[in-house]
Amino acid sequence: MIRIPHTLALAFVCAILAACQTLNVPAPTTFNQKALAAYNALDAATQTTLTLAQSGKLSRDDAQQAHDQIAQIKSGVDIAVQVHVNDPQAGADRLATAITALTALQAYLAGRQQ
């Protein structure tokens, strides 16, 4: 079985997403679509953190910090989903906050891949 490094897989996924945007494939627009995209991005961030740590591009302390941030962001998404049931606007606001934190983490991890 051929193993593909996670950073290569992440780069491939990013290229596919960019191609989808070019092809006018719509970005997630509903709350549920955005929440699912956040969960998928959190999974990718977890794998990227592991790969960067294993390759020595991320120190043990930095990897632990990234892992802690991923857990906090996931908790934020979980809470947003729960809140959304009774207060859609508050849930959407919480999800937007979690996505902002996730975007910052993704940018940090992408910078460490260089």
Profile the chain (114 residues) by mean pLDDT over runs of 10 residues.
50 53 72 95 95 94 96 98 97 96 94 86
> Into how many domains does the chain fold?
1
pLDDT of residue 40: 95
pLDDT of residue 18: 55
Q: Residue 92, Cβ neighbours under 10 Å: how many? A: 16
Domain presence at residue 51: yes
pLDDT of residue 3: 47
pLDDT of residue 99: 95
Q: Among 23, 28, 26, 40, which residue's Cα sits nearest to residue 77?
A: 40
Half-sphere exposure in the Cβ direction for 43 (13 Å, CA): 7
CA pair distance 11, 114, nearest whole angstrom: 12
Domain presence at residue 13: yes
Domain presence at residue 72: yes
Domain presence at residue 1: no
Cβ-proximal residues to 57 (8 Å cutoff; 6+ apart), any chain: 112, 113
Domain presence at residue 40: yes
Domain presence at residue 44: yes
Range of the domain at 103: 6-112
- Give kind and range of the element (H or E) at residue 70: helix 60-86
Domain presence at residue 16: yes
